[in-house]
């Protein structure tokens, strides 16, 4: 069921699956973005009717207070309690991530950094195959922790023109200031440029389909974005000590996300693949989303390596969104890992715990971008400005050398501004 790749006798560098957008998608998204910029709310209503089959002309684009109240009442008490706990865990987790302002004085120069939250943020929450209240919490909570004043959630509506109850409830409890019943590229365009019902924001975060991802790419620069999300990924590193039944469960758990979800099982023990096969067949046969699981596993592979050092090389080459380590010395192995979005150690630590806010955010870098990107953090919602204040003695000390560099770069005006101060009497 998994494609086999044996690297024990050769050193082959594996390439992560890159995010590639079909040109027809790019062209379609460009048209959507331009239409939203030109027509505002009217475009959102028309595009929602076209793509989602929902008419928002009477009910409006925004979730009303009455809708929030109905959603809270309709969300089962046990789910409300679970979402409340998720929000609490994420709040504690993200509170540790904020950079702190600082200041110092050296040689007549007072210098430091100030930290300020962005004014507004947009949080995209996908719909379609499933309902994702967890993604509401994952995107809204770090913004709240950072102190963002205006937090707008966008998510596709149901057929009746409302949001799923759990999504609306999570947005209310997590701290969103407004919730828009619009999805797709049109939602990203509204957040980036602003329309009558949706304010323009400074940063857009959250995963979505290929149209959402392409829209984020097109508006990046006008607003900040968290990254371009591709299909979800998992690399599992295991040896002969791993439980084959556990491996099968985790492979199916990852595969049920999406037909394009990918898993790579990296092992030093070739026999582990044979012992896992019957358990995997059994898990697939009883999977609730069997067709999705089978399609995903058809794109997944097993990689046999010589030792843990080579296993770490494979991990760093793939730079996976999720890394699960099922070997006795898991903590030591992680010291060799440079590239991974979120890491889960030991047989008790299932990746879905992180998906639901146990010490992790599930908005993570995909498509090999963990080489240079990190998961969504509270720090992503702040900006940092350097602050410098010099006295006369500092000017007299630094002006000769800094002016010399300016002149070498043919910036006589720069040199003049510094030398003028050095010569100036108080």
- Which sign, positive or negative, has the C-alpha torsion 177, 227, 100, 83? positive
Rg over alpha carbons for the chain, rounded to the nearest Å, is 25
Reply yes or no on whether 362 is catalytic: no
Spot the catalytic one: 321, 324, 362, 419.
Answer: 321
Reply yes or no on whether 257 is catalytic: no
DSSP for 321-381, written as a single string: SEEEEESTTHHHHHTT----SEEEESTT--HHHHHTTSS--S----TTGGGT-----GGGG
Q: How many CB atoms lie within 10 A of CB 318?
A: 25
CA distance 103 to 98: 16
- CA angle at residue 139 from 135 to 145, to 5 degrees? 135
- Which sign, positive or negative, has the C-alpha torsion 53, 55, 61, 67? negative
Spot the catalytic one: 283, 322, 324, 419.
Answer: 322
CA distance 145 to 194: 24
111 bridge partner residues: 104, 388
List C-alpha distances in Å: 69 to 72, 124, 163: 5, 22, 12
- The dihedral formed by the CA atoms of 363, 369, 370 and 372, expressed in degrees to the nearest 10: -120
Question: Exposed, middle or buried: residue 249 (CB in 10 Å: 0-12, 13-18, 19+)?
Answer: middle
Catalytic site positions: 321-322
């Amino acid at each position: 069921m998994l494609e086999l790749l044996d690297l024990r006798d050769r050193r082959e560098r594996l390439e992560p699956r890159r995010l590639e957008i079909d040109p027809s998608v790019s062209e379609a998204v460009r048209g959507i973005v331009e239409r939203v910029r030109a027509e505002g709310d009217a475009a959102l209503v028309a595009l929602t009717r076209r793509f989602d089959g929902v008419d928002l002309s009477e009910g409006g684009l925004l979730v009303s207070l009455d809708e929030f109240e109905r959603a809270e009442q309709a969300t089962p008490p046990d789910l409300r309690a679970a979402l409340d706990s998720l929000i609490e865990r994420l709040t504690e987790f993200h509170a540790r991530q904020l950079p702190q302002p600082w200041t110092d004085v050296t040689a007549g120069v007072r210098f430091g950094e100030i930290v300020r939250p962005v004014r507004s943020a947009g949080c995209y929450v996908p719909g379609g195959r499933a309902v994702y209240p967890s993604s509401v919490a994952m995107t809204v909570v770090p913004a709240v922790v950072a102190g963002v004043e205006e937090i707008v959630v966008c998510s596709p509506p149901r057929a009746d023109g409302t949001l799923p109850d759990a999504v609306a409830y999570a947005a209310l409890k997590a701290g969103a200031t407004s919730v828009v019943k619009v999805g797709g590229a049109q939602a990203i365009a509204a957040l980036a440029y602003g329309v009558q019902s949706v304010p323009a924001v400074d940063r857009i975060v959250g995963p979505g389909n290929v149209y959402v991802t392409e829209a984020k790419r097109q508006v990046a620069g006008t607003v900040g974005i968290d990254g371009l999300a591709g299909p979800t990924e998992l690399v599992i590193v295991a040896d002969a000590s791993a439980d084959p039944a556990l491996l099968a469960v985790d492979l199916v758990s990852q595969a049920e996300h999406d037909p394009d979800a990918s898993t790579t099982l990296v092992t030093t023990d070739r026999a582990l693949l044979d012992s896992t096969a019957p358990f995997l067949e059994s898990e697939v046969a009883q999977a609730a989303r069997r067709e999705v699981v089978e399609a995903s596993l058809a794109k997944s592979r097993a990689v046999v390596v010589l030792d843990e050092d080579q296993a770490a090389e494979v991990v760093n080459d793939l730079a996976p969104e999720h890394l699960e380590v099922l070997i006795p010395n898991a903590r030591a192995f992680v010291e060799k890992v440079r590239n991974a979005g979120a890491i889960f150690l030991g047989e008790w630590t299932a990746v879905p715990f992180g998906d639901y806010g146990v010490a992790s955010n599930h908005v993570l870098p995909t498509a090999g971008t963990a080489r240079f990107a990190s998961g969504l953090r509270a720090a992503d919602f702040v900006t940092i400005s350097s602050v410098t204040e010099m006295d006369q003695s500092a000017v007299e000390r630094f002006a000769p050398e800094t002016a010399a560099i300016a002149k070498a770069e043919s910036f006589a005006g720069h040199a003049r501004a510094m030398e003028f101060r050095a010569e100036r009497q108080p």
